[in-house]
Structure 1
Amino acid sequence: MIDEVMFMRHGRTSFNLERRLQGQIDIPLDIVGQWQVDMSGYTLAQRFYWAKASNIARHPDRLPQPTDPDVRRSDIEEYRKSPAARRRIVVVSSDLFRAQQTAHAFADPLGLDVTLDERLRERDFGKWEGMTREEIQSKYPEGYRSWKAHDGGEREYGVETRSDLGARGAQTILSYCNDPQYMDEPTTLFVVSHGSWIAATIGNLMGLPDNKLDNLTGMRNAFWSRLEPRYNANGTQFTLTEYDKGPDIADTVDWENGPDYLRNPDMPMWKPLN
């Protein structure tokens, strides 16, 4: 059964840098975003290296072998008999390209497949997609005020409410947790999605009311969180064991803007909201 759920947010995009609501607009990673997901992907690939051995045990054809018949072949039984073979990892990603790029930064070094799931898409921001908060406030002042006050006024503009988003995400995660195909052995579900989606989904699974979701700070690009599901007669309960965690390098380099060798003179600097 699924006993671990990892959530990873996609890396930086040009819309992130410009503080625009991306929603379901299909924006790729920028150069810093690719660096972010590679740094996090390498770190998590070390943490989940067992998944490579497990995958090879299930798919022996993925183990490179010498072509010379006189050279001894690698022993697949070493993989099949390893403790790693008794556990599985499943990588699922939003079908938006920035999430796909992020998922492959983790999955490819381990030789893992990535399954796309449109249910993992970011919050639908309706008419507001592609706009900055300043532009929304200027053009739709009453809608903006209601949105920030959590009064639901954003619905008028086709924006998916945070409550509906959290319900969509939670239903998706529970559908994986309750899927019979994952009941036969311990499984890690590795989910690559978007900042608003992840926060709202975790909040819903943890049973937080909508007015308490602000207690979950927004996740940084290419950072991860972890939930442990527990199954009983009353359903599935979740324990939050990690939230908004990143690789060690994020403590030594300007994570949001990337290392100096990636920034060209024309690139604006990302700055936090006041």
Structure 2
Amino acid sequence: MIDEVLFLRHGRTSYNLARRLQGQIDIPLDIVGRWQADQSAYELAKTYYWAKVAHLAEHNEQLAQPSYGGAHLASLDEINNAPAARRRMIVVSSDLFRARQTAHAFADLMGLDVESDPRLRERSFGEWEGMTREEICERYADDYRSWRAHTGGETKHGVESRVHTGRRGAEAVRDIVAAHDDDTHPTTLLLVGHGSWIVATVAVLLDMDPDDLNNIGAMRNAFWTRMTPHFNPVDPTLRTWKLEEFNQGPAIAATADWENGPESLRAPGMQSWKPIVQ
């Protein structure tokens, strides 16, 4: 049974840096995005190290052992009898490459597989994909202002609504959780996706309106959100959701320039990330 769900946003891409709407364009992580994904993976690996042990308890054959005759072998009992062996972790990623890169940064450390699910894709931005906000505002000023005010002007241009994005995400989360109801081990589900998708999905799971301007906020690159599902006492076939953490990142994000990465990664003339000015 899944009793914990983590939502992890992918690391930075060149489109994030240039402030272009990515939507479902398949853009890989840039050098800073790979650093961000690794830093978050290292941090999560500290908290969820038990998942590596749990995986080995399920797959004893994957434990590295000396291969020469007469060698002492590592004990399988100490793995199989460890408290960590009682849990499991599942990693599911959007099928877009930037998300899969971020998922593998963590999963490869832990020896875990990564499943892909297209329902975790970012919100589609229709004909606006690839454009900057300045370009959109110049060409579609009224619809741009409506988009920023959460009144839906963007949908005229094939942009997926926040509500549809959230419902699509919530349906995927509920389906994955329900598919593991009969599992004997308590399980943590790590979902690796995209900023707008995570925010809209979390809002729907919390019975909030994704178009509410006073919503939960935005997600930084390679930050995570944590929720726990609980059976509804009125209807046991349903679950209620509790938001445990939102937009959390590794400790290094508080001391380093998270959006631009360390100076050792910045080539001469590299563009600097700057916050959006409304």
Please say whether Structure 1 and Structure 2 have the same fold, judged by a TM-score greater than 0.5: yes
Residue matched to 1:144: 144
Deviation digits for residues 176-210 of structure 1, max 9, x if unmatched?
Answer: 12114654221100000000000000011011123
Unaligned runs of at least 5 residues, structure 1: none
Q: Write the letter of the residue equivalent to 1:52.
A: K
Query: Once the two structures are aligned, what percentage of the paired residues are identical?
Result: 55
**Partners of 1:43 and 1:247 within 8 A in 2:** yes
Residue matched to 1:15: 15
* RMSD of aligned residue pairs (Cα, Å): 1.2
1:59 paired with 2:59, answer yes
Q: Write the letter of the residue equivalent to 1:174.
A: R
Query: Distance in 2 between the 1:180 and 1:263 partners?
Result: 44
Query: Distance in 1 between the 2:213 and 2:55 partners?
Result: 37
Q: Which moved more, 1:104-113 or 1:210-219?
A: 210-219
| TM-score, normalising length: structure 1 | 0.97
Residue matched to 2:256: 253
| 1:75 shift after superposition | 1.4
Unaligned runs of at least 5 residues, structure 2: none
| TM-score, normalising length: structure 2 | 0.95
How many residue pairs get aligned? The number is 274
Query: Distance in 2 between the 1:266 and 1:180 partners?
Result: 49
Cα distance change on mapping 1:114 and 1:154 into 2, 3 Å: same
Residue matched to 2:245: 242
1:230 paired with 2:230, answer yes
Query: Distance in 1 between the 2:14 and 2:214 partners?
Result: 25
Cα distance change on mapping 1:199 and 1:251 into 2, 3 Å: same
Deviation digits for residues 75-133 of structure 1, max 9, x if unmatched?
Answer: 11211111111111000000100001100111111100000111100000000000011
Residue matched to 1:28: 28
Deviation digits for residues 9-67 of structure 1, max 9, x if unmatched?
Answer: 00000000000000000000000000001011001011100000100011112110101
Secondary structure of the corresponding residue to residue 212 of structure 2: helix
Secondary structure of the corresponding residue to residue 210 of structure 1: coil
Query: Distance in 1 between the 2:27 and 2:180 partners?
Result: 34
**Partners of 1:4 and 1:229 within 8 A in 2:** yes
